[in-house]
Amino acid sequence: MSWSAARMTERLSTPRKRPCAAVILGAGKGERLKSSLPKVMHLVAGRTLIRHVLRETAKLKPARTVVVIGPGMDDLAREVAPLETIVQKKPRGTGDAVKAARDALKGFAGDVLLIYGDNPFISEETLRALLDRRSAKDDPAVVAVGFRPADPLRYGRLVADRKGRLQRIIEFKDASDKEKKIGLCNSGVMAADGRRLFALLDAIKNDNAAGEYYLTDLVKAARAARFNCAAIERPAEEFIGIDTRAQLALAEAHMQSRLRRAAMEGGATLTDPATVYLSADTKLGRDVVIGPNVVFGPGVTVHDGAEILPFCHIEGAVIGRGARIGPFARLRPGTKIGRDAHIGNYVEVKNAILEDGVKANHLTYIGDARIGAKTNVGAGTITVNYDGFGKYVTEIGRGVSIGSNTALIAPIKIGDGAIVGAGSVVTTNVPADALRLERSQQTTVEGWAAKFRHRRARETGKTPVKAKG
């Protein structure tokens, strides 16, 4: 049998006019992952598996999107909201899961995409190619997506006749020796004619050892009804199976490789790419420089020319043009760093706005705050924002100097141009251009330390340490 790549990736020359819908299968428990989470709720690059799928599906602007979930999967329903969710009450196979969407797709006569929610690498291009093949003149009732993995042993095979028409999908364990030599494997992703889909699903039998209705038998049912079926071939990297924690880790590594490559192609410098971890939504501008061992959580935007030094952890933050972060800095959600600002080593910022040119270079915590442009925050400064009951805001004006080892007890306001002396505990507002200073009276007692050491030596029997050589 010969598969023509051109035939299998056939696309219509005219724009699609037929609407499409999507059924996303997310009811799997992922028992091999040994987790209380639904399988599709596990993360790759900071985004749930099903969110990756929905993001690509949404690019097609489907008329309807339905997510099939299992009983008690309330977290999953919230994750995909406001999309409609349908509960598959009993785990009776993938074919039965699609049946659960019957009422949601009632009267829909377009093309229906059938997609597994644990497939984070599926692309818009593949889904469009699938729909285009469904629209071809030979009017296939079902179109399946095939791929050629490096190790095909555990996958089902797509079996076609001499003309390349898909005849059936056969599981590896049921395949003959000849069928096992077929290189094209089943991805599980399909498109079907919405007018015929549910009648074909009703024709599927559950006469197998598991007593389940398999979606792969949709092709068999369509051929029995004398409908054409077809297949397209897409890149194997889009169909990495995720059934175990080890496979989840491999998927993460593959996604990170994709994201790093895209970041560098977009104009960012990653000095040691293998040690930088990005989220699926990380946005890096041109001429951004990322040092080794930097981790980006979800929701980060870094503007042009900023530099992230080694060993930083950043999530939910916006970093302005030309800013310098780290090393060993932590930016938490709600943080906005202005142009040319400096955030240095062992500085943590949470839910705070630091305007252009602010510097906080050492050992500082800034939380629930707004800091005006060109302000300098000394080492050891803390915004004391929590009293055990509520969070309170610290407002610091422009051009302020905050001395080292200062505690700012929120809620509090520091006016423009003010200076706060080192070691101060500030509990009330400071006017603009004022000096706020807290100093306890210092007393010196000559010779006291030597006398103390000798007294303790007599009491303990230990030899006192000599203060001078």
State phi, psi for 3 to the nearest 5 degrees. -105, 120
Residue with tokens 């050492």: 362
Domain of 261? 245-436
Is 303 among the catalytic positions?
no
Domain annotation covers residue 136: yes
Distances, alpha carbon 37 to alpha carbons 26, 128, 159, in Å: 11, 31, 35
Closest CA to 190 of 246, 244, 229: 229
| Residue at a domain's end among 182, 203, 238 | 238
Say whether both 173 and 316 belong to one domain. Answer: no
Say whether both 259 and 168 belong to one domain. Answer: no
Q: How far is Cα 305 from Cα 288, in angstroms, rounded to an integer?
A: 5
Q: In the chain, count H helices and then E strands.
A: 10, 33
| Residue at a domain's end among 195, 222, 238 | 238
Domain annotation covers residue 67: yes
Reduced to 3 states (helix: H, G, I; strand: E, B; else coil), residue 24 is: strand
**Residue 236 near residue 123 (C-beta atoms within 8 A):** no
Q: Which two three-digit tokens encode residue 88?
A: 């598959």
Peptide bond into 298 cis (omega under 30): no
Domain annotation covers residue 193: yes
Angle between helices 124-134 and 49-58 (to 10 degrees): 50
The pLDDT score that the predictor gives to residue 209 is: 79
The pLDDT score that the predictor gives to residue 11 is: 39
The pLDDT score that the predictor gives to residue 7 is: 36
Domain annotation covers residue 442: no
Domain annotation covers residue 387: yes
pLDDT tens string 144-183 = 999 999 888 789 999 998 888 999 999 888 888 898 899 9
Strand partners, 262: none
**Residue 377 near residue 357 (C-beta atoms within 8 A):** no
Say whether both 224 and 252 belong to one domain. Answer: no
Q: How far is Cα 327 from Cα 330, in angstroms, rounded to an integer?
A: 9
The pLDDT score that the predictor gives to residue 469 is: 52
pLDDT tens string 246-263 = 999 999 999 999 999 999
pLDDT tens, N- to C-terminus, the chain (469 residues): 223 333 333 333 344 568 999 999 999 988 889 999 999 999 999 999 999 999 999 999 999 999 999 999 999 999 999 999 999 999 899 999 999 999 999 999 999 999 999 999 999 999 999 999 999 999 999 999 999 998 887 899 999 988 889 999 998 888 888 988 999 999 999 999 999 999 999 999 998 878 899 999 999 999 999 999 999 999 999 999 899 999 999 999 999 999 999 999 999 999 999 999 999 999 999 999 999 999 999 999 999 999 999 999 999 999 999 999 999 999 999 999 999 999 999 999 999 999 999 999 999 999 999 999 999 999 999 999 999 999 999 999 999 999 999 999 999 999 999 999 999 999 999 999 999 999 888 899 999 998 998 998 988 888 776 666 5
**Residue 308 near residue 302 (C-beta atoms within 8 A):** yes
| Residue at a domain's end among 238, 264, 281 | 238
Domain annotation covers residue 179: yes
Q: How far is Cα 363 from Cα 41, in angstroms, rounded to an integer?
A: 37
Give 246's DSSP letter.
Answer: H
Say whether both 234 and 256 belong to one domain. Answer: no
For the chain, the domain total comes to 2
Closest CA to 60 of 101, 105, 113: 113
Say whether both 165 and 308 belong to one domain. Answer: no
Say whether both 226 and 254 belong to one domain. Answer: no
Q: How far is Cα 306 from Cα 322, in angstroms, rounded to an integer?
A: 4
Say whether both 426 and 366 belong to one domain. Answer: yes
Active-site residue, from 52, 303, 362, 454: 362
- The amino acid sitting at 343 is I
Say whether both 232 and 254 belong to one domain. Answer: no
Domain of 315, CATH number, reads 2.160.10.10
The pLDDT score that the predictor gives to residue 31 is: 86
